[in-house]
């Protein structure tokens, strides 16, 4: 029974010893006669100009978490803004492409009516030549449509 308690006691004592080193640890910095800078946990034996280096302060984890959350939110917003801008640009490019295609169709329609004899298909499947008044009316409509889509 004594053998089973020995190892946990030794671990407990060693843990206490190691933890106690960091409690009052001071760091010293000094420059020797040769100009070399030294760092140590114990002061130098001779009377040199020493500087005591204080350990760093504790970290405000709550404040750091808030800062990190704010930065994350900013990055998320920037990403969302970039995605929205990209989608808007894509929609704009699609609209421009659609307008160009509509303009080309309007120009082709106008060009088809500018020939002197335009053939049209009748309801019974036969074809005939379009009357001049009807052709001029279609030219007028095609120009209006072209002005609407090409500007």
* pLDDT value, residue 51: 82
Q: What is the mean pLDDT of the chain?
A: 84
The closest of 104, 119, 113 to 140, measured between CA atoms, is 113
% of the chain exceeding 90 in pLDDT: 31
pLDDT reading at 6 higher than 90: no
Give whole-number Cα distances, 29 to 23, 34, 105, 114, in Å: 19, 15, 83, 96
CA 97 to chain centre: 27
Q: What is the DSSP letter of 22?
A: T
- Better pLDDT: 2 or 98: 98
pLDDT reading at 5 higher than 50: yes
Distance in angstroms (rounded) separating the CA atoms of residues 145 and 151: 10
| Burial annotation 52-80 (CB, 10 A radius, 16+ → b, else e) | eeeeeeeeeeeeeeeeeeeeeeeeeeeee
38 token code pair: 């030294």
50 token code pair: 């020493």
Beta pairing class for 50-53 and 119-121: unpaired
* pLDDT value, residue 1: 46
Annotate 71-97 with DSSP letters as a single string. HHHHHHHHHHHHHHHHHHHHHHHHHHH
pTM over 0.85: no
Tens digit of pLDDT for each residue in 56-79?
A: 778 888 999 999 999 999 999 999
Instruction: Tell me what the mean pLDDT of segment 80-86 comes to.
Output: 97
Are the beta carbons of 55 and 39 closer than 8 angstroms?
Answer: no
Q: At how many degrees (to 10) do helices 61-113 and 132-150 cross?
A: 160
């Amino acid at each position: 029974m004594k053998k089973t308690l020995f190892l946990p006691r030794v671990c407990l004592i060693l843990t206490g010893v190691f933890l106690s080193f960091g409690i009052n640890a001071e760091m010293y910095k000094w420059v020797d006669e040769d100009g070399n800078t030294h760092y140590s946990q114990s002061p130098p034996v001779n009377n040199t100009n020493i500087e005591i280096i204080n350990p760093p302060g504790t970290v405000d984890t709550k404040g750091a978490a808030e800062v990190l959350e704010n930065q994350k939110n900013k990055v998320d917003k920037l990403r969302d803004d970039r995605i929205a801008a990209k989608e808007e640009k894509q929609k704009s490019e699609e609209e421009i492409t659609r307008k160009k295609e509509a303009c080309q169709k309007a120009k082709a329609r106008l060009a088809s009516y500018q020939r002197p004899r335009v053939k049209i298909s009748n309801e019974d499947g036969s074809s005939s030549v379009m009357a001049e008044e009807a052709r001029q009316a279609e030219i007028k409509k095609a120009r209006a449509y072209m002005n609407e889509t090409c500007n």
